[in-house]
A and B are shown apart, each in its own frame.
Chain A
Amino acid sequence: MRLRRTLAAVAAVALALPLAACGGSSGSSGSSDGKLTFFSWDGQDTMKPVIDKFQQENPGIKIEFSNAPPVAEYISTLQSRILSGTAADVFAIAAENKTNLINGKHVVDLKDKPFLKNVPKFNQTTYGGQDGAVYGLSVASWGAGVLYNKDLLAKAGANAIPQTWDEFLALCHKLKNAGVTPYLESVQAMSTPLAAFLGAESAADGNSMDSKIFDGSAKFKDYWVEPLTQWSRLWTEGLVTPAVVGLTGDQVRTEFANGKVAMMIAGPWDIPGVRKAAPKLKIEMAPIPGIAGRPAYLAGAASPGYAINSKAKNPAAAEKFLAYLDTPEAMALYQKATGAITVTTDFQPALDPALQPIVKDVRAGNIYLPQIAWKRAEDILNVEATAQLQLLVQGKATPEQVATALDTKLASTS
């Protein structure tokens, strides 16, 4: 019975310690402006400098910070809190929950707030609603393109970054003949090149492509078949292994950092990882080369925005906090912690030189992601699209079948 006695002793000590500690912390209710609760998408280490500075400048307000890792955990935690009326005053609105948050009137319209002045239109409309309403303060964007290992390119005798998709495929052939694995992308989510092709198409069409698909005047089939066909040439021409449907982005990045593949799909978040794993690699990022005479384009979207709970207990402090978040001072702290491509007009982010070729387009909002641009049933369609793309890569579906499957899915949700 020694075990039982030991356990009992441990239990007694363990129960006593925090109880004693609790005694001291109860008198923390502060001054008049009071407490502001903030449920964040970013971790504590990212937000802490910003929060500290804000509290320093607004001594009356004490921010109670909490967070959950994105995406699924964040969304579900916020969901249950909103439902029960325990959600924080300020929280993040993301592509994955914006429809529910906006339709359920859980977030405040920020339309005419002065702090939106330095936020580009693109980021405002991403979290916008009817009549120009804006429900989230989004201060950064991301864009994904091709990351080139310039040493490997040089080895195969290539020194120019391709401008068209045909040139890109020719480069793949050249690398392959030189014994280098040309290109990898993880096909476990929406494909970046495909998104970029569609983005260029949509931009040329006056951004009306998705409106037409969702109001019934056009079909996925009308727009998607050509981009799908071009993208799938990577496999039909034998340039890339169909095994990519079983690869994660992490695995692709590791291959790239180890110099085993010349080009990969990457976003800004991949750069620090590559730099740390392979400090000497000469790398450069570029947009996805265009098809059918269209320009090179980036896949990407506005980062999650900060939103104010429509049932906020301290709306005044919430607004103050948001107003502070996009000041150049706060942006500097945030940018330093995240390395994100910030978009506010009065602050220039300091970024890795490898990102230079894409920064301007990302900040201007020349980026596209289907599941964000879609008007409804975003996640339903995205799940279907991902599964269909994998079938396409495996040669089990044709581009026409993939596009038709999306049309069928969309029809089934209305």
Chain B
Amino acid sequence: MSTPLLTRTEAPSPAPVRAERSTWARARDASANQLFLVPVALVFIVLLVIPLTQTFYWSFTDFTGYSADVKFVGLSNYHKVLTDPSMLAGLGFTLAYTIGTAVLITACAIPLAVVLNKKFFGRNFVRSVFFFPAIPSIAILGLVWGYILSPLGSGVLNSVLQSLFHAGPYPWLSDDTLARLSVIVVAVWGGAGWHAMLYLAYLQSIPADYYEVATIDGASARQQFFHLTLPLLTPAIVISNFLLMTGGLKVFDLPFTLTKGGPGYSTYTITQSIITSGVAQGRYGLASALAVLFTFAVALVAVAQLWASRRIERRVL
């Protein structure tokens, strides 16, 4: 935002935006407006409600995934899910992963976005490099990180540490704690740039003159970041974290390619349980029950998170 072309006359305070929103809520041509919701309602019903209903139904049956001939088995799938320790073996790591990645990615992505929004030599290159970890297939990334984090002395990271500090070799992916940490770090590597792009977009909705006024008022760059940028990014933070939380709770492929869920069950995830029981073990009814319970649990977390963030948003703005 080097050239502040935008010259608005009103006071650059974010408050009026909210006030006017309620004016718009009293829109007079409501029915024409609701027409705009028809496409998304179609998508919602066809691609979500119908399949979910089916999954819900299957969760009460002995469905194997191979034949639509099913027997009703009542709540026994739910009973099994809640009593079989290995079905929930992934709960601990799934939670740790979700919280860890959400916090770390947010902490990296916001400053990154602010910097990438400035003009500097090589910006396009830096943007591309940070964004691109999100792109290649997880199979390749798993392979490459496997070599980097190899617990042997010949691993890339271990040989660097050896030559620089004469330390190691460290068992990056073969020690419970280190494996969990490694998976989270790789996830942060893969996600920080993507979320920074998200923040970068939302930074554009902050009018440049807010900053002008702040500069005239003598606010330092630090003060501007904490008192202007951060509060105005709240909607973006809510969204980014919502995506991180729901995505984190559903995570499967990254830990799986890096560690196959091991050592032991230390990086096992809930979704891995769903997939293994549904596909490899032909216990689709059981997998459906787990999926239903899981959906409710994630929904609870999501609602709680949105509720909390709305309160924070209100306090900030």
Contacts and interface: CB of A to CB of B under 8 A. Distances in A.
Interface of A: 72, 75-76, 79-80, 82-83, 96-97, 99-101, 103-104, 106, 188-189, 241-248, 250-251, 254-255, 258, 260, 377, 379-380, 383-384, 386-388, 390-391, 393-394, 396, 409, 412
Interface in B124-183: 143, 146-147, 149-152, 154, 169, 171-175, 179
A245 B275 CA distance: 22
A251 B262 contact: no
B47 interface: no
Interface stretch (B60-68, B71-79, B225-233, B288-296): B60-68
Given A75-B279, A76-B279, A79-B279, A246 B151 contact: yes
Given A188-B262, A244-B174, A101 B151 contact: no
Nearest to B176: A394
A99 B261 CA distance: 25
B1 interface: no
A108 to B, nearest CB: 15
A102 to B, nearest CB: 10
A75 B151 CA distance: 32
A387 B152 contact: no
Contacts of B265: 387
Contacts of B268: 387
Interface residues of B, number: 36
Contact of A394 (B264, B276, B282): B264
Contacts of B154: 255, 258, 260
B173 to A, nearest CB: 3
A82 B263 contact: no
Which 8 interchain pairs have the tightest Cβ spacing?
A246-B174, A246-B173, A243-B151, A100-B282, A243-B174, A390-B263, A245-B263, A243-B171
Contact of A247 (B169, B174, B275, B281): B174
A409 B281 CA distance: 14
Given A188-B262, A251-B146, A390-B263, A104 B172 contact: no
Given A99-B282, A100-B65, A387-B264, A242 B146 contact: no
A292 B164 CA distance: 47
B64 A245 contact: no
A244 B151 CA distance: 8
Contacts of B215: none
B18 to A, nearest CB: 31
Contacts, number: 105
Contacts of B149: 246
B297 to A, nearest CB: 22
Contacts of A250: 143, 146
* Chain A interface helix/strand/loop/mixed: helix
B152 A104 contact: no
Given A106-B66, A251-B150, A245 B276 contact: no
Contacts of A82: 66-67
A18 to B, nearest CB: 24
Contacts of B150: 246-247, 251
A391 B263 contact: yes
B59 interface: no
A72 B262 contact: no
B276 A383 contact: yes
A135 to B, nearest CB: 14
Nearest to B89: A387
Nearest to B262: A390
Contacts of A254: 147
Nearest to B182: A246
A76 B277 CA distance: 12
Contacts of B68: 83
A306 to B, nearest CB: 18
Contacts of B173: 246
